[in-house]
Amino acid sequence: MIVGENLNSFDVKVPSDAYYTQKDSPTFNAYITIIVRDSNRNIVNIHRQRSHSPTKNFIAYFMPMYYLYSNNISLTITNTSNTSYSYTTSPFIGISYPSNQKNNVSYLVMIEVGSGSQSNAYNAYNLASPIANGSGTGQLLYGTPSISTSITASGSSAYFYISQTFNNYSGGAVTITEVGIITGLAQNTANGSIIGSTIQMLMWYDVLSSSISVPNGGSVTIYYTFTVNP
């Protein structure tokens, strides 16, 4: 240990890249962007806010499957109907995101919109008051969800997004106050075969900082952007 005046006899230079730059580790953020158009396709509102509400279903997927197996622990998932499922694991059984392909690459069910709110997003299993898919009073016609075909990188930042468009043919304005991401899940064997049935789960949930009104004959497109080092 060097103390006192002896320390001054050493010519020590700290490398420039060792100084604190407030970027010691990658940062992760999620954003919601909402674009509203009227019946003439003109943009009438653009809303953007930070998204910060993964649910406990989402957090559960960070638990290593082998840890569950080694400790004889089951993973409990709650679907959008508030039914709980306990998944057990083995070296040859895992949890995947099912699709039409055997290897179950991904399965995004939809971005769901609603007219309610919940204070505890972590425990949310569905939206408080989902807006139904259709053209009746108070309904919106749900389009097909879309996912970025690749991750976009720029400098030290990288991001991808999912989006979905909703059309309003209800005969009146429809107000959105909450949004969430619904995914499908199934348990599968090592060769890709599905065990049991696929369940739908709320993975991400947000209450909007201000309500969004979608005019009759208009549409709204919602983007969830997930970015590292924004």
Rounded Cα distance between 71 and 85, Å, is: 18
* Domain spans of the chain, in order of start: 32-228
Which amino acid does the sequence have at 218? G
Give this prediction's pTM. 0.79
17 φ/ψ angles, rounded to the nearest 5 degrees: -85, 5
* CA–centroid distance for 57 within its chain: 11
Rounded Cα distance between 182 and 112, Å, is: 7
For the chain, residues with pLDDT lower than 70 are 1-26, 64-66, 88-106, 187-197, 230
- N-term to C-term CA, the chain: 41
The pLDDT of residue 104: 46
The pLDDT of residue 103: 45
Q: What is the CB neighbour count within 10 angstroms for residue 77?
A: 19
Rounded Cα distance between 56 and 53, Å, is: 10
3-state secondary structure of 223: strand
Rounded (5°) CA angle 205-208-214: 110
Here the tokens at position 131 are 């807006």
The pLDDT of residue 132: 97
Largest Cα separation within the chain, whole Å, is 83
